Amino acid sequence: MAEVEIRNVKKIYEGGVEALRGVSLAIEKNEFFSLLGPSGCGKTTLLRIIAGLEQQDEGEVLIGGRNVDNVPPHKRGVGLVFQGTAIFPHMTVYDNISFGLRMRKYPRQEIRERVRNVLELMNMPFEKYAWKKSHQLSGGERQRVEIARSLVIEPKVLLLDEPLGPLDLKIRQKMQLELKRLQKKVGTTFIYVTHDQTEAFAMSDRIAVMEKGAVIQVGAPEEIYRRPLSRFVADFIGETNLIEGRVEEQNVFAADGLPLIRIAPEAADGLVGKHAYLAIRPERIYLSDSIDKENRFTGTVVDKTYMGPYAMLKVEIGNNLVLTVHVHEPEILQNLNLGDRVPVCWKASDSYLIER
């Protein structure tokens, strides 16, 4: 049985904005589940509905197998770390974190014990932090207090709405790892919202990609990266070259102005004779003409950008079709100039097809 189940949830805000257009998801117990999508796609709305802060217009939400549509937020046993800060500004760290425990009328001694433990979990020594006020904390510390505050009540599900959004890249990466470690340690179901695909990839067991109020693909990170089911996902998740054309045969793809392209037969199932996109990741294209790659072309270098660990080349292979190629070997790069003719190749099995 799924820990959280969302069945065909729809939400239209006053003013007619369709924030959710029939979302269905099943999130397993102890899963680190991410909702990934551009801003405005309805992620926050979905979290707020799960937390009970917003009422859906249609559909139902089940937590632990029980329909919670008539359960108010304070009785749902769901923690929510808000987008932006929601720390209680008039309280100390201790009072913030103990708030939920006091609402549940825990004995004093136990409250103290739990606050101490959860602060430790967040790598914040009790003596140093417990009596600080929110304005004495850095952005990262404040965020950790909010997470601790939601965790300490031991929710069945913890919802996190872009909790690392306001932080610097360095702290964010560190916190990503910490959160992941934390989730495994406490064994709570996490539903994590982000618009940053690297973040979702680094942390999640499974990801749901959302677009315009709908979930368009759910899967493990590798799965979503390797086999995006739509053009939107392919574009949104990392960088992808998309070539428009037609699936001629089970293993042949035809694009205007290009020689026929070999594709993996299993990728073309059900698509033969149809228009489609052929997708190939930039790091799967090589600047050589090795025999074991079925697709070999010659192209012209039209752009070259140094990215640090790799370089991004734009290579035109005919008919105004420009491919993005990632080159990781500095030796190759040194001898390349704009306008040079270069061999370009990729394996049929590294490409995949996306229906139009």
Partner 1 sequence: MTSMKHQRKTGLILLLLLPPLLFYILFFLVPFFTVVGVSVGIILPSEAQRARGEFFTLRYFQDALDPVFLRILGRSLAYALATTVGCILLGFPVAYFIAFRGGRYKNFLILLVILPLWVTFVLRAYAVLSLLGPEGVVNSILINLGVIQQPLFLIYNEFAVMLGMLYGYLPFMILPLYASLEKISKTVIEAAKTLGANSFTAFLRITLPLSKPGLIAGTLLTFIPAAGEFVIPSFLGGPSEVFVGTMIYSAFISARNWNWGSALSLVYIALVLVGITLYLKYSREELTI
Ligand X SMILES: Nc1ncnc2c1ncn2[C@@H]1O[C@H](COP(=O)(O)OP(=O)(O)O)[C@@H](O)[C@H]1O
CB of 323 to ligand X, least distance (A): 32
Compute the distance between CA of residue 161 and CA of residue 6 in angstroms, rounded to an integer. 17
Among 8, 24, 40, 328, binds ligand X (CB under 6 A): 40
Q: Helices in 188-285 by DSSP H: which ranges?
A: 197-203, 221-226, 231-236
Compute the distance between CA of residue 347 and CA of residue 280 in angstroms, rounded to an integer. 9
Q: Which residue has the tokens 């859906």?
A: 56
Q: Is residue 19 a contact point for ligand X (CB under 6 A)?
A: yes
Among 5, 6, 25, 79, binds partner 1 (CB under 8 A): 79
CB of 40 to ligand X, least distance (A): 4
Q: 39 or 334: whose CB is closer to ligand X?
A: 39
Using alpha carbons, list the distances in angstroms from residue 259 to 65, 241, 348.
55, 17, 14
Q: Is residue 36 a contact point for ligand X (CB under 6 A)?
A: no
Among 9, 32, 43, 124, binds ligand X (CB under 6 A): 43
Structure tokens at 348: 């049929």
Q: Quick one: residue 336, left, alpha or beta (phi over 0 = left, psi -120 to 50 = alpha)? A: beta
Among the candidate windows 25-33, 43-51, 215-223, 345-353, which touches Mg ion by CB under 5 A?
43-51
Q: 99 or 310: whose CB is closer to partner 1?
A: 99
String marking each residue 93-132 x if it binds partner 1 according to CB under 8 A: --x---xx-xxx----------------------------
Q: Which of the choices ligand X, partner 1, Mg ion, none does residue 250 contact, using the CB cut-off of 5 to 8 A by kind?
A: none
Site for ligand X (CB under 6 A): how many residues?
12
Sheet with 4-12: strands ordered across: 18-27, 4-12, 58-63, 66-67
Q: 43 or 206: whose CB is closer to ligand X?
A: 43
Q: Are the beta carbons of 30 and 56 closer than 8 angstroms?
A: no
CB of 38 to ligand X, least distance (A): 7
- Residue 29: closest CA among 4, 53, 7: 4
Q: Is residue 163 a contact point for partner 1 (CB under 8 A)?
A: no
Q: 83 or 173: whose CB is closer to Mg ion?
A: 83
Q: Helices in the chain by DSSP H: which ranges?
A: 43-51, 93-103, 108-121, 126-129, 139-151, 169-186, 197-203, 221-226, 231-236, 330-334
Q: Is residue 137 a contact point for partner 1 (CB under 8 A)?
A: no
Binding site for Mg ion (CB under 5 A): 44, 83
